[in-house]
Structure 1
Amino acid sequence: MATWFVTGASRGIGAEIARTALAGGNNVVIGVRNPERVPDDLRNSERVFAVALDVTDNAGILRAVEAAVTRFGGIDVLVNNAGRGLLGALEEITDAEARSLFDLNVFGLINVTRAVLPVMREQGSGKLVHIGSRSGFEGEPGASLYCASKFAVAGVSEALSVEMAPFGIQSMVVEPGVFRTDFLDASSLSVPANRIADYDGTPAHATLEWIDQANHAQLGDPVKGAALIVEAASTEKLPTHLYMGRDTLERLEVKYRQVQDDLAPWREKSAATAHSDAA
């Protein structure tokens, strides 16, 4: 039996991860802004502990982690799932909107992880699972700031996978494509208050128009996605990246080709920037 701590687990893939971990015989701490919104099937289990958690509130993070450790004695798997989306051309997005996104998607994740790491170091073990995105390895039009936040998540996770290895702690970033959750609802996704008409008919606004077509019709099954995440997190050795979804795999192939196309004509000149006396 392990103890899982899942942020943003009142709905969507976070709730499905909690359900799957619970079904596997584990204890599950559910960190949500309002514990009253935890689904009844999770709330009624003795092995589920719901804690009030706003990942942008550092003092609240520490209280939630302390309460989890008091209840179950430790934390074996942290799932940083809390986050939201922001779409729109970069020029349309205000500084306040961008900073609010990073406060949740990036600094919230960092601060929760920072609070849990002392617990895992004392245990001599632990697994960090960060929910990133397909947008964390490929910049997409109309999603520049969201992509930036998920690129940051991937970078943090990769660094932690090496940084925490001496303490027996592993780190994995999950990079899912589009899954059939409420992520494209207004409760999870923001768009700029003021659209710039010049972007109509361009890729940036095509992404905004895609929302209505894709919402609740996405390819990915969140139950199957959660099962894969829990399976990977339950193995002895975590992958550094868990690429998840048919669309993610397709875009990854596009990314590979782009890297090769960018590299080939500049490889020799790039290497030639070294000092001439370099070995």
Structure 2
Amino acid sequence: MSTTLEMAQNCSLVFFITGCSSGFGRELAIAALASGFRVIATARTIETLKALEDLGAKSLSFDVNSPPDTLNELANKAIAIYGQVDYLVNNAGFTSGGAIEEHSPTEVLEQFNTNFFGLVNTTNAFLPHFRARGTGTLVNIGSVASTGGQPSAGIYAASKAAVDAVSDTWAKELAEYGIRSISVQPGNFRTEVLKPTNGRFAANKVDGYAMAHGVVEFLSKQYAGNEPGDPVKGAQNIITLVTKNGKLPLRLVLGDDAFPKLETFYKERLAELEATRELSTGTSFTQA
């Protein structure tokens, strides 16, 4: 819990959070408010934000798939609410399940339009404000699925891997303006993300793909609603980290399931790197 002094210091800072109708977006808004920050909560359907308004959040109808000109107008409208935005939390997104081959080009584009292009366009709409002020923090919600390859989640994972890549680059490109960027990689938290009402599934079923289809079946019918992660605790950890002064890590791996998974992944990659050292190096031109 924040102290009275911390609450007083926080009260002037503003969070703008996308995708607050449920899940991490909603819990992040609640955690930020509880820590004394001001919050602008957004969703495509503003009626879903009534509970957050009752807690003190301002609400705004916001669709990350809007054209850039519209996003620019909405960003200006959001900034006008308090005269500033200090933290941009890019949380809006959805999951698309099924083997990669089963996804149509339209389904792939829909996944990237929301999870990646919408995130980039939304960020670009706020960057002039951050650059002019010489401060700001980008909090990009990725996924542990972006690393290692998970059957049935290839397109979703690819969109989140793209989020990791731009977040890492923003951290370097924007440092000269005093702007920080971090990608959060949550594991499996008990939100609505895996429920049929939120997730989408590739329409073109291909015979076989036993592993991918088995994972979809398990996640949607048995695992959804039984995930180990508590989104309340996860959201609080995100708020605690990103509101600390100083340099942020490039990534926050979040979850008791996610941390050992990525720890094992990176150890295996380092071992592979060393095993292929001889073929990986020695490829430069020989000096005369």
Sort the TM-score into its range (normalised by shorter chain): over 0.9
Deviation at 1:97, TM superposition (A): 0.3
- CA distance in structure 2 between the partners assigned to 1:163 and 1:85 by the alignment: 29
> What secondary structure is seen at the aligned counterpart in 1 of 2:226?
coil
> What secondary structure is seen at the aligned counterpart in 2 of 1:78?
strand
- Given the two structures, how large is their TM-score scaled by the length of structure 1? 0.95
Which residue of structure 2 aligns with residue 93 of structure 1? Answer: 103
1:79 aligns with 2:94: no
Q: Structure 1 residues 39, 181: closer, same or farther in 2, change over 3 A?
A: farther
CA offsets per residue over residues 44-85 of structure 1, 9 Å max, x none?
Answer: 24x421111110102332222111111101110000000000
1:53 to 43, 56, 62: 62
1:6 aligns with 2:41: no
Deviation at 1:265, TM superposition (A): 2.6
- Given the two structures, how large is their TM-score scaled by the length of structure 2? 0.92
Which residue of structure 2 aligns with residue 164 of structure 1? Answer: 174
- CA distance in structure 1 between the partners assigned to 2:29 and 2:81 by the alignment: 17
2:49 to 38, 49, 53: 38
- CA distance in structure 2 between the partners assigned to 1:242 and 1:39 by the alignment: 30
1:259 aligns with 2:269: yes
Which residue of structure 1 aligns with residue 216 of structure 2? Answer: 208
1:16 to 22, 27, 31: 27
Give matches, 1:138-177, under 5 Å: 138-177=148-187
Using the TM superposition, name which of 73-82 and 234-243 deviates more: 234-243
Deviation at 1:130, TM superposition (A): 0.2
Aligned AA for 2:237? L
**What is the number of residues matched between the two proteins?**
274
- CA distance in structure 1 between the partners assigned to 2:34 and 2:275 by the alignment: 52
Which residue of structure 2 aligns with residue 27 of structure 1? Answer: 38
Aligned AA for 2:62? L
2:97·2:152 contact (CA, 8 Å) conserved in 1? yes
- CA distance in structure 2 between the partners assigned to 1:143 and 1:76 by the alignment: 33
**Which sections of structure 2, spanning at least 5 residues, go unmatched?**
1-11
Which residue of structure 2 aligns with residue 180 of structure 1? Answer: 190
Deviation at 1:37, TM superposition (A): 0.9
Aligned AA for 1:266? T
1:199 aligns with 2:209: yes
- CA distance in structure 1 between the partners assigned to 2:34 and 2:28 by the alignment: 10
Deviation at 1:197, TM superposition (A): 2.0
- CA distance in structure 2 between the partners assigned to 1:108 and 1:97 by the alignment: 15
Aligned AA for 1:234? T
Using the TM superposition, name which of 210-219 and 156-165 deviates more: 210-219
Using the TM superposition, name which of 1-10 and 56-65 deviates more: 56-65
1:87·1:191 contact (CA, 8 Å) conserved in 2? yes
1:13·1:181 contact (CA, 8 Å) conserved in 2? yes
Aligned AA for 2:226? A
**Which sections of structure 1, spanning at least 5 residues, go unmatched?**
none
CA offsets per residue over residues 138-157 of structure 1, 9 Å max, x none?
Answer: 21111111110010000000
> What secondary structure is seen at the aligned counterpart in 2 of 1:51?
strand
2:104·2:204 contact (CA, 8 Å) conserved in 1? no
1:228 aligns with 2:237: yes
Deviation at 1:263, TM superposition (A): 1.6
2:42·2:49 contact (CA, 8 Å) conserved in 1? no
Using the TM superposition, name which of 60-69 and 5-14 deviates more: 60-69
CA offsets per residue over residues 74-115 of structure 1, 9 Å max, x none?
Answer: 110000000000111111111000000000000000001000
Deviation at 1:194, TM superposition (A): 2.8
Deviation at 1:135, TM superposition (A): 1.1
Aligned AA for 2:195? D
